[in-house]
Amino acid sequence: MTQTIAEFRIPTSELRDDIPFYTKVLGMRMDMIYPADDPRVAVFSGHGVRLRVEKDAPESPGTLRILTEDPDGFAGGQRSLVAPNGTRIEIEPRNPPLEMPETVHSFVVRRLKDQAPWIIGRAGMHYRDLVPDRLGGSIIASHIRIPDGGPVPDMVHFHKVGFQLIFCIHGWVDVVYEDQGEPMRLTAGDCFIQPPEIRHRVLEASDNVQVIEIGVPAEHVTEIDHEMELPTSHFRPDREWQGQRFVYNQAKDAPWQDFRLPGYICRDTTIADNTGAVAGVQVVRRGQGEPAWATHDCDILFTFVMNGSVTLEGEGRDPFTLEQGDAFVIPPGMRTRLSNPSQDIELLEVTLPGAFQTVIG
């Protein structure tokens, strides 16, 4: 096989000043230099890159970002340097801690009929934003669809995230997960909890499959894992990732119980138990009795209307008649009531954290 090497070219005015910087300060290896009597070009490699430093090259010096597990021990602990040739060097942690923004509470109603745009995102999937202000960056809620079924052009990847839910509302999708055995089919009413950094890959989907995806925080990194092959050879259903276990909750034969609000029943997806109460996910239907006014002290309470219709009343606000495809967020302390539910009403309620107080009246 023919070997191919790629280089980034950056300029210099005096190569002899750059050699000690790139080799001693940045710890790179010099692979080539020429001509011997008056060097004009040197090639350095290290940290996953190959740099060609060339006298009077026409490019700008640019910026080189170095990600390391020990930024305090690299380059004497400096975080920003400038090489003699003018290239800016930024030193950053390889795996910085996940930052969870403080929630900016707001009352949000997002209607499907308002024609929010569908955006083509990763792997050709279509995304519709359900919480446009993202509560200050604390959450992203997306309605995702794949119009044309068949194999999905996905790769093994993982998300640096605090919590992530995939809930299927239409069609089906096949996904394979690290240490969880053979591929699993998610159908309408089923959900996955993807613990932080679990490797997975979307394999195939039906025509017009639709899911609701909740991620915390709103902006998080997705990384490709080019080394892992799925499924993995071992099966470890009890494995934890940062205190969370993988959940595959299926709608069939699931028990129903009283919901936290009068007039409704719910199906618990076991997500609170498997995430250490980081989050809770309930499927809600109409029950016995009349709906009542209530307040809650949950940090984030998101609801998506999967079927039927319901009226969302908020104290001091005009009521909203909500239908399939609509979503809303109720901030803590706001007095609301879900009234006039249709017989076929079905809601998806996602709360962070999974344990909180509701006051009726």
Which one, of 220, 93, 210, lies nearest residue 158 by Cα? 220
Answer yes or no: do 55 and 149 share one domain. Answer: no
Mention every residue, 6+ apart, whose C-beta is less than 8 A from residue 254.
267
Q: Note whether residue 106 is domain-resident.
A: no
pLDDT score, position 152: 87
Q: Specify the amino acid at residue 228.
A: M
Which one, of 341, 329, 333, lies nearest residue 359 by Cα? 333
DSSP 23: I
Q: Note whether residue 183 is domain-resident.
A: yes
Rounded Cα distance between 325 and 335, Å, is 23
Over the stretch 208-217, which tens digit does the pLDDT of each residue have?
Answer: 999 999 999 9
Rounded Cα distance between 130 and 138, Å, is 13
CATH of the domain at 292: 2.60.120.10
Over the stretch 289-314, which tens digit does the pLDDT of each residue have?
Answer: 999 999 999 999 999 999 999 999 99
Answer yes or no: do 236 and 334 share one domain. Answer: no
pLDDT score, position 96: 87
Which one, of 210, 107, 221, 109, lies nearest residue 166 by Cα? 210
State both tokens at 192. Answer: 């996955």
Rounded Cα distance between 308 and 325, Å, is 10
Q: From edge to edge, which strands make up the β-sheet containing 63-68?
A: 63-68, 88-93, 80-82
Answer yes or no: do 82 and 206 share one domain. Answer: no
Answer yes or no: do 132 and 231 share one domain. Answer: yes
pLDDT score, position 122: 67
With cut-offs at 50, 70 and 90, classify the pLDDT of residue 271.
very high
Over the stretch 121-179, which tens digit does the pLDDT of each residue have?
Answer: 766 778 999 999 999 999 999 999 988 889 988 999 999 999 999 999 999 999 999 99
Q: Note whether residue 149 is domain-resident.
A: yes
pLDDT score, position 36: 87
Buried b vs exposed e over 180-197: b needs ≥16 C-beta within 10 Å?
beeebbbeebbbbbbbbb
Q: What is the 3-state secondary structure (H, E, C) of 102-134?
A: CCCCCCEEECHHHCCCCEECHHHCEEEECCCCH
Range of the domain at 265: 257-360
Q: Where are the alpha helices (DSSP H) in the chain?
A: 15-20, 271-274
Please tell me the total count of domains within the chain: 3
Examine the fold and report which residue of 199, 215, 249 is the final residue of a domain before the chain moves on.
Answer: 249
Asked if residue 321 has pLDDT above 80, the reply is: yes
Answer yes or no: do 125 and 235 share one domain. Answer: yes
Q: Note whether residue 307 is domain-resident.
A: yes
Q: Note whether residue 152 is domain-resident.
A: yes
